[in-house]
Structure 1
Amino acid sequence: MKGLLLRLSALDPDAASAVRVIAHFEALLRGGALDPGMLARSTAGLAECPAGVELPDGRIVRHGPDGAALAGAPERVSGEAVPGDAGRVWLERPGGPGPFDDLVLEWMAIAARLLGGPPRSAEPPHVADPALVELVLSEREAVEDRARALRLLGLSPDRALRVVAVTVTLEAGERSGPADAGVEAVALLGRGALAGAVRVARVGRLGVVLVQPRDGGLSPAGELRTVLGERAALRESARAVRVGVGGAAEPMAAGVSWAQARSALRFAGAGGTDEALVDHDELGPVALLSRIPVEDLRAEPDVRALADLAGREGGALGLAALAAFCRTGSLRQAAAGLHLHHSSVAARLAHVEDALSWRLHEPQGRFRAQLALYALRLSADVED
């Protein structure tokens, strides 16, 4: 691990820092029974600032970066996360949050949920050399070169491979750093959710994951949706991560799965966990929409109407309700997926109907709305 981190520091300092955080907590969780004091003390040393844990019974445990216990409640909290139905974890960094505090808090919350439970056995994800990953994905390079890159990555040339593309919506004013898609891909897979060989890298502005499942090539979409749901529950302020999953392909044809992953990513939205990940295998003939030129999509009246609605006050919330309703066909299921009361979702849908003159209770109206939502997402450029 030490040698890997030294190499990553030269290739991608942000990814190296993310792996260092994940490796720290994985080692902590594998070390045996974990208690609140150990968690707070260890996190404070990692983050180089005071850290605290509030247990479900209201007890507070705090430690400083020097390992010393701190008394009482914190005077200032720079960031926090809720590990479950009760309790919380936090950092007390002077001067505002650090660049990787969100990732530290996420893993601290995971550890807090497992206090007193059995140790984990998962390993941190393998962050790969981006040049080797790009070589595997290329369809222009010689087969011999791609096969060599696969071997160097520790992947088998004889087992089906899938490619996953990850992107993240930057917060206002951010340009790089912890919001980088490669780092988010590392964080997404850091819990050992996928069985099999997993390699993570950054290619352009996208995080790329090469997966060789042990189960013969079945899609990892289900496991990834579970992880996205856990992340959303633990981090209320989490950035909008979107994921596209490509189909199974022979390793020498990994570029096909890569193209499918990027196509699926264009269909993904930021309206909730169910919208954030799209599996190309599940799209069926809908995937053909991605072949329509972006200019034609943007010129479509329904797409323009949705884009206009999205720009109004509360418009994004209305589109999230519309997407959930089109996906489930049920007001109550849509409300459950958005964690809202069904009356709130009904009010948002009524606003959408008034603005667009659609009748969503009719099958034709929902079909038209779903196509327009897909077209709106496809009309946005995805940097790669």
Structure 2
Amino acid sequence: MKGLLLRLSALDADAAAAVRVIAHYEALLSAGALDAAALVRSTAGLAECPAGWQPARGEPVRFAADGGELAGPPGRTSAAAELGTAGRVWLERPGTAGPLDDLVLEWMAIAARVVAGGTGAWQVADPALVELVLSGREAVADRARALRLLGLVPERPLRVVAVAGAAGTDAGAEAVALFGYGTVPGTVRVARLGAVGAVLLQQADPDGPTPPAELLRAALAERGRRGGGPRPHAGAPSNGRGTRVGVGGPVDALAAGESWHQARAALRFAVASSPAEAVADHEALGTVTLLADLPAERLRSRRDVRALEELSGREEGAPAVAALAAFCRTGSLRQAAAELHLHHSSVAARLARVEEETGWRLRDPQDRFRAQLAWYAWRLTRSAAD
């Protein structure tokens, strides 16, 4: 049936086929005890062509579409993905690439990184256990037992990350795709809880030199360059561009629910656009997170917020709001220009448009603070509407 799925997709490569591919790899990762041979054999059957994996050390693992093991190096490689320290994976299709080959290869690479990292460090977890860990109503002993069953240490701190995707995507698959790049070190447990992917992250040094939010922005940027990630349904942004991430702070493992609350609050500030805006860190937001306690309608009623909403809805206004976002985030015209890959005069012209529409004078510290506060409030109203 999986091979038939890909044959039919050659006639109509719709989102349903992509969802089935993602579900295939999610099932592999959820089953536990996945090894190189099982991954490659399964991929070859799914893609209906030989597939292979060359680990960093050892002989290549290759299987034919019928499940038979192949010896030696590959013949013709039609598509490949480099895995860094985990080696390289590929497909060996004799003709032209299939319509879902990029997606199959992307998820094969994600699963290979998980296998190479060891299932003890990275797992798709039982949602019931994750919910128990995040619950504030369950007994401490029950939460501690759930943590141990998940392979986490109750006596060590952890943080929770909330992941959401574009309409039509599976939030659990988004989280798997994002953390599957292996850019965030530590013990990772992923589960889908309703419309949000929940990630339990336990690191040896939660206050390490590079915050998880920065690592996740880098992973999103890498996915964007590769064009990988789950494909949403028709009409939604493709290639994971709808991904939003909220990062909670480190807490005692038995108080994981607090970090989960922080992660979901931070998620409301995340905007599905550039990696810099798509990942929101609760700790970095600081006092601004208090805005999340206000009803969206109350925020939307403010004149400054309405002005940004009206401006963003116009074709010529959206780039101006993007320039304001970069300026608010970086605090510098030239840094904003560098982030947007524009000349600083172009950014200055767009900011002038914002000033014309809102009456702000962004050189004035008070107006700049007012603009930044309005920008954060506008982001919250946008997330409430999603």
Alpha-carbon distance between aligned partners in 2 of 1:309 and 1:360, rounded to the nearest angstrom: 16
Which of these residues, 218, 221, 232, is aligned with residue 229 of structure 1?
Answer: 221
The runs of 4+ residues in structure 1 deviating greater than 6 Å are 41-46, 106-109
Aligned partner of residue 192 in structure 2, secondary structure:
strand
**Given the superposition, is the C-alpha separation of residues 13 and 210 from structure 1 closer, same or farther in structure 2, using an over 3 Å criterion?**
farther
Per-residue deviation, residues 237-269 of structure 1 (Å, max 9, x unmatched): 532211111111111111100000111111122
Aligned partner of residue 188 in structure 2, secondary structure:
strand
**TM-score (ref. length: structure 1):** 0.71
Alignment pair present for 1:158 and 2:155:
yes
Aligned pairs for 1:120-159 within 5 A? 121-123=116-118, 125-159=122-156
Identity of aligned residues (%): 52
Aligned pairs for 1:197-236 within 5 A? 197-216=187-206, 218=208, 219-235=211-227
**Given the superposition, is the C-alpha separation of residues 127 and 108 from structure 1 closer, same or farther in structure 2, using an over 3 Å criterion?**
closer
Residue 357 of structure 1 aligns with which residue? 359
**Given the superposition, is the C-alpha separation of residues 54 and 291 from structure 1 closer, same or farther in structure 2, using an over 3 Å criterion?**
closer
Residue 308 of structure 1 aligns with which residue? 310
**Given the superposition, is the C-alpha separation of residues 299 and 154 from structure 1 closer, same or farther in structure 2, using an over 3 Å criterion?**
same
Alpha-carbon distance between aligned partners in 1 of 2:272 and 2:129, rounded to the nearest angstrom: 31
Residue 10 of structure 2 aligns with which residue? none
**Given the superposition, is the C-alpha separation of residues 52 and 339 from structure 1 closer, same or farther in structure 2, using an over 3 Å criterion?**
farther
Alpha-carbon distance between aligned partners in 2 of 1:346 and 1:371, rounded to the nearest angstrom: 20
Say how many residue pairs are matched: 318
Residue 55 of structure 2 aligns with which residue? 30
Residue 279 of structure 1 aligns with which residue? 281
Q: Is the 8 A contact 2:175 2:197 kept in 1?
A: yes
**Given the superposition, is the C-alpha separation of residues 167 and 216 from structure 1 closer, same or farther in structure 2, using an over 3 Å criterion?**
closer
**TM-score (ref. length: structure 2):** 0.71
Which of these residues, 176, 201, 213, is aligned with residue 186 of structure 1?
Answer: 176
Alpha-carbon distance between aligned partners in 2 of 1:13 and 1:53, rounded to the nearest angstrom: 17
Alpha-carbon distance between aligned partners in 1 of 2:100 and 2:149, rounded to the nearest angstrom: 38
The offset of 1:158, in angstroms, is 0.5
Which of these residues, 376, 379, 382, is aligned with residue 377 of structure 1?
Answer: 379
Q: Is the 8 A contact 1:271 1:323 kept in 2?
A: no
Aligned partner of residue 359 in structure 1, secondary structure:
coil
The offset of 1:54, in angstroms, is 9.8
Aligned pairs for 1:240-319 within 5 A? 240-319=242-321
Moved more, 241-250 or 314-323: 314-323
Q: Could you tell me which amino acid in structure 1 is paired with residue 222 of structure 2?
A: E
Alpha-carbon distance between aligned partners in 2 of 1:223 and 1:141, rounded to the nearest angstrom: 32
Alpha-carbon distance between aligned partners in 1 of 2:264 and 2:299, rounded to the nearest angstrom: 18
Residue 52 of structure 1 aligns with which residue? 78
Q: Is the 8 A contact 1:159 1:251 kept in 2?
A: yes
Q: Could you tell me which amino acid in structure 2 is paired with residue 122 of structure 1?
A: G
> Any gaps of 5 or more consecutive residues in structure 2?
1-19, 44-51, 68-75, 82-89, 229-237
RMSD of equivalent CA atoms: 3.8
Q: Is the 8 A contact 1:15 1:127 kept in 2?
A: no
Per-residue deviation, residues 6-42 of structure 1 (Å, max 9, x unmatched): xxxxxx99555247599758982525499xxx99x98
Residue 78 of structure 1 aligns with which residue? none
The offset of 1:133, in angstroms, is 0.6
Residue 331 of structure 1 aligns with which residue? 333
**Given the superposition, is the C-alpha separation of residues 54 and 265 from structure 1 closer, same or farther in structure 2, using an over 3 Å criterion?**
closer
Q: Could you tell me which amino acid in structure 1 is paired with residue 78 of structure 2?
A: G
Aligned partner of residue 149 in structure 1, secondary structure:
helix
